[in-house]
Structure 1
Amino acid sequence: MTITYPRAERASQARAAEAQLEAAGIDGVVFGWVDNAGLTRVKSVPRARLAHAAEYGVGAVPCFDLALVDDSLAVTSSSTGPVGDLRLVPDLDRLVPLAAQPGWAWAPADRYAQDCTPHPGCQRGFARRAAEAVEQRGFSVKAGIEVEWVVADATGAPATFGPAYGMTRFVEHSDYLRDLLRVLTDQGLAVLQLHPEYAAGQFEVSVAAEGPVEAADTTMLVRHTIRAVSARHGLRVSYAPVFAEGSLGNGGHLHLSLWREGRNLAHGGPGRHGMHPDAEQFLAGVLAELPALLALGAPSVASYLRLVPSRFAGAYRCWGLENREAALRLITGSAAGQANAEVKCFDAAANPYLAVGGVLAAGLAGLESGLPLPPETPGDPAALGSAERLPASLPEAVDAFEKSAPLREALGAELCEAVLAVRRAETELFSGCTDAEVVEAVRWRY
């Protein structure tokens, strides 16, 4: 059966939104999506065109499904090059005025074919399908993605060299960080933490958990907001997996918890550390597919300069209670609603919709097969020598992805082909480059 979006309803919703935006002094609306290389692409319309865009969409070239980090294009047997068009349709439920960009509002967008059927290569659509598949089994998932970034001065050097987690960085950038908190709050986001991280110039912010697709949307909004606030303070931002060769990088840690009938299944159960059997099976599925999931959650050649042992990056396929060297860290929290698992091996180059959707598909496969969760790793896996090292390069991750039936089936043939084409093309793009050259090439692309 052909699936279309409700044009008339969206147009009516948009007309009401236009009036509210006019009253708020908004002149234009930005529609954003994220490509398979992890770069955010946008189009915008004047406020008065929002209803038309909501009803008919805005043209979007399909070749961006094959765009690489340097804006060159991969080629597949089914790619049409410059031929064809898609419709970019904003999700008005997530429409928000941008507090750090006066006169502008933002909304994430879904991509449709010209006949209004969902584009099979739409990454946001994939995440939604994955969430719906979990819901059809009687479960729901709450998720959140930590946002780490390096702030630099006009020369491109880190803007602060204070100690990791040190007060020095807060003192040097207190106005900047205060403005960031205010703007995020003005945009309706519930900030949980904001602090300096390990690398020079690095900070991290986390916001409240929500549904999987919504969490991916929020991640993009947070990143846009950080960039905008930084620009107003004369600062540059990098979300690249590694900002400087040999340093700790920018993670994109995914936190998630499985729920049923209002109960968090990571708490109060008979299993290890209070987990319920369904939660253990879900995490077992994620753990089983982690090598393949890296093709979605650590998608850059530069990702593997970050994903090294003994750097809190989660370089080993294992899990453990509060174990920051395990790829899958269990967090019990201080209350029932706080218990969750953290996927630590993902980084900020990932398309959050692909990362979230892939993890949901893997967890669902674990549930459906009743997969047992293996014994936990209680210490540093590098020292114990008992855990499996995750792929140490993008080609290794791609090889695992190609062999993953759950992920390939969940993504579908067209999206899977595009992801593989981009990963292989970026591998070739950086073939023969030194680590330093890779870092330099991607530093300001993310």
Structure 2
Amino acid sequence: MTTLADPVPGGRPKDVARARAHAKDLSTQGVHGVVLAYVDTAGIGRVKTIPVSRLASAAAWGVGMSPVFDTFLADDSIVTTDVLGSPDGDLRLYPDLDQVVVLSAQPGWAWAPVDRITQEGARYPACSRTFLRRTVSDATRRHGIEFKASIEVEWAVGQASAPGDAFVPAVSGPAYSATRQVELSDYLLELLTAFAAQGVDVDQIHPEYAAGQFEISVSTLDPVAAADRSVLVRQTIRAVSQRHGLRASFSPAVLAQGVGNGGHVHISAWRDGANLHAGGDRRYGMTPEAESFTAGVLAHLPGLTAVTAPSPASHLRLRPSQWAGVFNAWGHETRETAVRVITGTTGRQDQEANLEVKPVDLAANPYLALGCLVAAGLDGLDSGAALPEETTGDPARLAPTEAEARGVRRLPTSLEQSVEEFRRDDVLVTALGSVLADAVVAVRQGESAAVAGLDDEGVAAAYRWKY
């Protein structure tokens, strides 16, 4: 369960007592430090760490951190907006006590996601975790709808001994092959062991398509917990990789050519325990509300890409005919459309039916990505948006006249285009609020400027080990 209430100075009722009990229990397990984790606007995981003895103090009064990090770029340079990016001010980081986890692959450490508030105790408008929590809470309040979500994690495993920042795949076997699984059998086993110890329910873990690439899928949770889990999964993969003399990259494009790393989002809407994507009288068992929610996501995808595919490296991955979903279209189990309607196995549709949103990668801040996807879907639900005709096969093969008639359009082909689409999308800008929306624009523009003049290989190299 995720804590849904905002932090307050002094702690919520019973929080301090719970934190003391947590700290005592953690100490008996040999934990000495706690990682307090959040993700900045650029998609970089940032942390503060505290001794376990300070957990109760953190639950009561938070831990200080500058707000400047919300306008950091992936290379740690800083851009500014009218309210962010200066050396002034401070924030308080409050750990979510419901999500404290002992890190199996980092002996002596525990981990917890944080919410951030101002020193005065007010909600911090650039806290992406708070944004997501309030977005899903508002959906429940207004529509009686809750969500289940998960984020796929793809990563490339390289040899840590490779010279400089070069990427040398740690495996040589073919895509999806038994050879790759055998080559890194001990590594994958330690990952499974670590995830089990941390309470992460793994659906599958397997070799993927690109050189050295693997993927893990985990079970669905509420969106805030799903975003937390995505951050924790990556923390764990990095730690286990290092223990095996390997290096993990979650960059959208480890190399300039070929298939990149995705972070596909699976999401479904529920009311009173019933899945709105199954058992309905619309296409593929969707209810009218599920169709409208899907239509909303589809309609806002051009602007959404500034949040879901936010790096210059993202656009090295977003290429046609590579299952990246670069066309604004939907299809039933169609892996080339941006939105894939999944109906699930016979007998389990009521549990498994969901949407997969494909133009998402792991440069994205998962809290921003999920929050904006929910906001886009709710806009479709509010307006009763109609879902257009579905697309089968590869949209890249449609004749231009047929694509135009179907409304199938290529999503933005550059980060600059994504930003322009985002700025024109009033629904997304309003959902985020001016402070966070301005940070998204400023950081994306800063990333574009940082790689101006680089060729594709230069862009891939610049972000290879950032995420």
Q: If the length of structure 1 is used for normalisation, what is the TM-score?
A: 0.98
C-alpha distance in 2 between matches for 1:366 and 1:212: 19
- Name the aligned partner's letter for residue 376 of structure 1: E
* 1:105-116 → structure 2 map (5 Å cutoff): 105-116=110-121
User: How many angstroms apart in 1 are the aligned matches of 2:285 and 2:55?
Assistant: 48
- Which residue of structure 1 lines up, in the alignment, with residue 3 of structure 2? none
Partner of 1:443: 464
Whole-Å separation in 1 of the counterparts to 2:189 and 2:96: 29
State how far apart, in whole Å, the 2-side matches of 1:135 and 1:380 are.
Answer: 36
| Residue 62 (1) aligns with residue 67 (2) | yes
Alignment of 1:119-130 (within 5 A): 119-130=124-135
* Residue 389 (structure 1) aligned with residue 410 (structure 2): yes
Q: How does 1:42-191 map to 2 (within 5 A)?
A: 42-79=47-84, 81-136=86-141, 137-153=143-159, 154-155=161-162, 156-191=167-202
Q: Could you list the per-position Cα deviations for residues 203-228 of structure 1 after superposition, in whole angstroms to 9, with x for gaps in the alignment?
A: 00011001001100000000000111
| Match of residue 413 from structure 1 | 434
Does residue 29 (structure 1) correspond to residue 43 (structure 2)? The answer is: no
3-state SS of 2:14 partner:
helix
- Once the 2 structures are TM-superposed, how far is the Cα of residue 13 of structure 1 from its aligned partner? 1.4
Task: Answer whether contact 1:300 1:426 (CA < 8 A) is retained.
Answer: yes
What amino acid does structure 1 have at the position aligned with 2:199?
G
2:354 aligned residue: 340
Q: Give distance in 2, aligned partners of 1:100 and 1:64.
A: 27
Return the alpha-carbon distance in structure 2 between the equivalents of residues 212 and 4 of structure 1: 19
Displacement of 1:260 in angstroms is 1.0
Structure 1: how far apart are the matches of 2:411 and 2:171? 32
In the other structure, the counterpart of 2:378 is 364
Q: Secondary structure at the match of 1:388?
A: coil
* 2:206 aligns with one of 190, 195, 204: 195
CA distance in 2, matches of 1:21, 1:371: 50
On the 8 A contact 1:29/1:107 being kept in 2, the answer is yes
Aligned-residue offset at 1:80: 5.3
Task: Give 1:9's aligned residue.
Answer: 14
| Aligned AA (1:58) | V
Q: What's 1:380 paired with?
A: 394
How far apart, in 1, do the equivalents of 2:361 and 2:172 lie?
A: 22
Q: Which residue of 2 aligns with 1:265?
A: 276
Superposition pairs of residues 273-352 of structure 1, within 5 angstroms: 273-334=284-345, 335=348, 336-352=350-366
Q: Within 5 Å, which residues of 2 pair with 1:199-214?
A: 199-214=210-225
Show the counterpart of 2:247: 236
Q: Residues 10-42 of structure 1: CA distance to partner in whole angstroms, max 9, x if unpaired? A: 212100101110111100100000000000000
Distance, in Å, in 2 between the alignment partners of 1:20 and 1:39 is 30
- SS, match of residue 119 in structure 2: coil
What is the rounded CA distance, in whole Å, between the counterparts of 2:34 and 2:257 in structure 1?
40
2:267 to 231, 256, 263: 256
1:428 aligns with 2:453: no
Q: For 2:147 and 2:464, locate their aligned partners in 1 and report how far apart those are by CA, in whole Å.
A: 33
Distance in 2, matches of 1:213 and 1:24, equals 27
Decide which moves more: 272-281 or 379-388: 379-388
- Report the CA distance between 1:79 and its aligned residue: 2.8
Amino acid at match of 1:64: F
Contact 1:253 1:346 in 2 (8 A): yes
- Give the residue type in structure 2 aligned to 1:145: I
Could you tell me how far apart the structure 1 residues matched to 2:86 and 2:38 are?
19
Q: Is contact 2:275-2:353 (8 Å) kept?
A: yes
1:266–1:275 CA contact under 8 A, matched in 2: yes
Q: Which amino acid aligns with 2:389?
A: P
Partner SS state of residue 49, structure 1: helix
Rounded to whole Å, the distance in 2 between the matches of 1:27 and 1:54 is 17
- Measured in 1, the distance between the counterparts of 2:327 and 2:14 equals 48
User: Is this contact kept in 1: 2:7–2:94, CA < 8 A?
Assistant: no
* Amino acid in the other structure paired with 1:379: G
Q: What is the identity percentage for the equivalent residue pairs of Structure 1 and Structure 2?
A: 52
Q: CA RMSD in A?
A: 1.1
String of CA shifts for 1:379-405, please: whole Å, max 9, x gaps: 110002412100000011111100111
Moved >3 Å (runs of 4+): none
**Is the Cα–Cα contact under 8 Å of residues 79 and 85 in structure 2 kept in the other structure?**
no
CA contact (8 A) 2:266 2:355 kept: yes
* TM-fit CA distance, 1:77: 2.2
How many Å separate the matches in 2 of 1:104 and 1:77?
A: 38
Q: Out of 352-361 and 428-437, give the one that drifted further.
A: 428-437
The whole-number CA distance in structure 2 between the counterparts of 1:10 and 1:303 is 40
CA distance in 1, matches of 2:7, 2:36: 19
Aligned length: 445
Assess if the C-alpha contact under 8 Å between 1:8 and 1:55 holds in 2. Answer: no
Name whichever of 358-367 and 129-138 sits farther off. 129-138
Residues 48-100 of structure 1: CA distance to partner in whole angstroms, max 9, x if unpaired?
11100111111111000100010000012223511110011110100000001
2:226 matched to 1:215?
yes
Contact 1:7–1:56 (8 Å) recurs in 2 = no
Q: Output the TM-score relative to the length of structure 2.
A: 0.94
Question: Secondary structure of the equivalent of 2:453?
Answer: coil
Q: Secondary structure at the match of 2:300?
A: helix
Equivalent-residue separation in structure 1 for 2:256 and 2:180 (angstroms): 22
